Chain A
């Protein structure tokens, strides 16, 4: 069993928690748990009709992991690049892309694939391919990330 990495187990456990959160949001609130849609509706004001639900979701999303940080023996870090140009470009692309596509990893990936939605599956294939190509180009060819 040596080949099984602890990170994979934590990934599976965390994944089950993410999926359970999405299941609660669907079965109780009747909504798709898509991070970009929940934020995007507040940003472009199209979702102000249920701002309280959106706000409460985002508050939970920020506060609960913040409260969990002391459980970790070593410092938790996002290890984000210090190159702010890359950070800004990435943020802009993620913001524009998720709104054009109407979803991100949580909406299309978790909620879409699990209901066998063609749109969710196609979106996931394209964002994985694009992410993989960016790694090849920007890490292995240009060496900037």
Chain B
């Protein structure tokens, strides 16, 4: 039960932060990516601000045996990069630029995003369902 409560707390604070930061506004995200237009640096402040508490959190995690609610901390990230990481990030970035929404803000804005927001979420879920066979094919092509 505690795990569920802390999950809801983290999700709620994440959503509040996304709204406060302006990242649920597609024009601010596209303004950041539009280096050759009316460039908007807000996203750099958001990312920088978000990384600061996590720098501290990873240091704390390194000195503790495990998370406060039991279990274990996430494994060290895989050092291998892989084709799926690069191809996936390029596809994600392209979609992010086209619409100005990434998964967090797309979900956070569900209550006020209107039809466009819901269509985006349904398309995103469809893309997630389509991903596993694509991943397998990329792996096979890379190994060949």
A residues with a Cβ closer than 8 A to B are 5, 7-33, 35-36, 39-40, 43-44, 50, 52-54, 56-66, 68-69, 76-82, 84, 86-102, 104-106, 108-115, 117-120, 122-124, 126-136, 138-140, 145
A22-B14, A123-B85 are known contacts. Are A91 and B99 too (CB-CB below 8 A)? yes
- The tally of residues in B whose CB lies under 8 Å from a CB in A reads 117
Residue from the list A8, A36, A117 in contact with B45, Cβ < 8 A: A8
Judging by beta carbons under 8 Å apart, are B17 and A18 in contact? yes
Binary contact track B14-42/A, C-beta < 8 Å → 1, others 0:
11111111111111101001111100111
B residues with a Cβ closer than 8 A to A are 3-28, 30, 33-37, 40-58, 60-61, 64, 66-74, 77-79, 81, 84-114, 116-117, 119-132, 134-135, 138
Q: A47 → chain B, closest Cβ, in Å?
A: 12
Q: A5 → chain B, closest Cβ, in Å?
A: 8
Residue from the list B15, B47, B60, B123 in contact with A110, Cβ < 8 A: B47
Q: Which residues of A contact B15 (CB under 8 A)?
A: 60-65
Residue on B nearest A101 in the bound complex, by CB: B88
